[in-house]
Structure 1
């Protein structure tokens, strides 16, 4: 049976399918973890420790020995995406109630959901798109986007916007595993390869554990709001990213559009931040479902829009091949893109 191949046909499937299975488990058998106990309970409910290992391994994969072009591209997209998410958070704080929208068409929408959906780019999806529609330096620009992985950027945005107050130790705790992995990966390339192999296999595990914190009724009611949030992420972040790519990154805008997605790892942020700040605990389950839907929507729509824009800007398969994207350097990026494409 080709179970993995079937799951990967679904955009973000390696994350979303286990998440839905975990939600089904929570809905129909909420006490399964405590009933079995031991390791089974750890797998079902161990979101934080599993994510901690994943963040560590993700940090180890980042190599700062990149060209100036790669750093300019990735830095431009990273700063722009973060700044836009911060502005969106400021606006959301003014128009949304403190506990989020509880009824109506946009039920479940909250400041936490908006921040989590907008501040993290699906780096693997970006790399795969740029491998096909961009230059090798643009594809390699996903290296710094991995810095967005985890709750740190969301915490910084919420703190800077005044939506939450985090103690310094919580910031350190959120980023320390990532930084240790980053340091080890750059000190020893063998450690980078060793830990990097763990990034992809851990996704289903924390996906299932995350899902086990969601009642299926929340997922079912988050369909339309989640779709609206996903489309909003593309519009609100995509336009500034395209402008930044053209005028600062010196591209044609395709890289910016390819970065206007929601990362699968962002699904974990509402839960983690809710555990840190009691004020967010109530909205965290609905925010998780909304971000999961946004991840799926952007994973479907962003590739279509990027392909249309690239062709509009004169992209052709022949030109892409002539530009050397099938060379050794590009192959390395392509391998990395495959390993994280479902993040």
Structure 2
């Protein structure tokens, strides 16, 4: 039975298939794998640990001389995601109706969903289509976790004052540390670099499955059409912006598009903002379900969009070699 060969024929199959399989299980039989022991530990609760190990293995492949490239890519991804998401959020505020909604979407949900990104999904996608420096760029992307960048956008727009305590430097360091440990090991010992290199591809389907066990298709229904539209905007606006900016900088554009998602932790952002400023309290419920719907929509749609972009590039004569986009025959 050619399981791996079948997955390899599906664009992003090593990530997409386990993720959708787990999401289906979580939606229709959520307790099937939540039986405790090693089963639940591996298939349900392992995403953070496996992604951390993936980051360590990736960090071991980074030569200290190329770390500057990773930081540049991470800063570009972070800035693009925030600028585009905040700009759409500003438009939502400017053209919101009397009910406070724009196209049926709460403006606070727009900013929360579109300035945030799913780090696990990004790592899975660049693990298949990106290079080592693209994976290491994730160290900066930790900055868009949680409500911090949403708050920054609102401060700039003048809708609320700055509130301390919504971003912890420790959180950022906690994400960066596995990469740094991997870098130290890999740069001290070439044999360790080769040994840890094997872990990068092996881990992808396992943490993709664990990510899927956090997805419930019912969130799309609860979020309504507005939540789905928000997910579509996140993928096609922020993802496409990242694609063309990376292309303009002569980097792998697929990596730029891989940021077009909404992370699950963004679901808590509207409530966190309302806790800081009560004027947002009336929008918390609808914003929360819409961000949740965007999370699920982007988790399903972004890998498919990436696969479309990859096929489009391949038809134009490009191929991927160790994360680098190259013209065939060159």
The question of whether the paired residues in 2 share the 8 Å contact of 1:115 and 1:157 is answered with: no
Matched, 1:241 2:239: no
Matches within 5 A, 1:76-155: 77-95=73-91, 110-117=110-117, 122-123=125-126, 127=130, 142-149=131-138, 152-155=142-145
- Distance change in 2, residues 1:242/1:44 (3 Å): closer
Instruction: Note the C-alpha offset of 1:297.
Output: 3.3
* 1:188-231 superposed Cα distances (whole Å, 9 cap, x missing partner): 12111111211111111111111111112336877765454333
Aligned to 1:270: 263
Q: 1:198 to 1:244 in 2, by over 3 A?
A: closer
Q: Give 1:299's aligned residue.
A: 306
Partners of 1:276 and 1:53 in 2: how far apart? Answer: 27
* Contact 1:85/1:115, CA 8 A, preserved across alignment: yes
Shift in alpha-carbon separation, 1:44–1:107, aligned structure 2, 3 A: farther
The TM-score with structure 1 as length reference comes to 0.65
Where 2:64 maps in the other structure, the secondary structure is coil
Pairing 1:230–2:235 present: yes
TM-score by structure 2 length? 0.68
How far apart are 1:290 and its partner, in Å?
A: 3.0
- Rounded to whole Å, the distance in 1 between the matches of 2:53 and 2:108 is 30
d(CA) in 2 for partners of 1:10, 1:106: 36
Mapped to 2, the partners of 1:210 and 1:85 lie a distance apart of 22
How many residue pairs end up in the alignment?
284
Q: Is the 8 A contact 2:228 2:294 kept in 1?
A: no
Aligned mates of 1:17, 1:108 — CA distance in 2: 32
1:84 and 1:63 mapped to 2: Cα distance?
A: 26
DSSP-derived class of the 2:177 partner: helix
The range that moved more, 49-58 or 271-280, is 271-280
User: Deviation at 1:20?
Assistant: 1.1
The yes-or-no answer on 1:199 pairing with 2:200 is yes
SS in 1 for 2:62: coil
Q: 1:211 to 1:304 in 2, by over 3 A?
A: closer
The answer to whether the 8 A contact 1:112-1:270 is kept is no
Secondary structure of 2:40's aligned partner: helix
RMSD of equivalent CA atoms: 4.2
Q: Secondary structure at the match of 2:11?
A: coil
Summarize the Cα distance change of 1:230–1:297 in structure 2 as closer, same or farther, 3 Å threshold. farther
Cα distance between partner residues in 1 of 2:219 and 2:150:
29
Unaligned 5+ segments in structure 2 are 94-100, 154-164, 274-286, 325-330
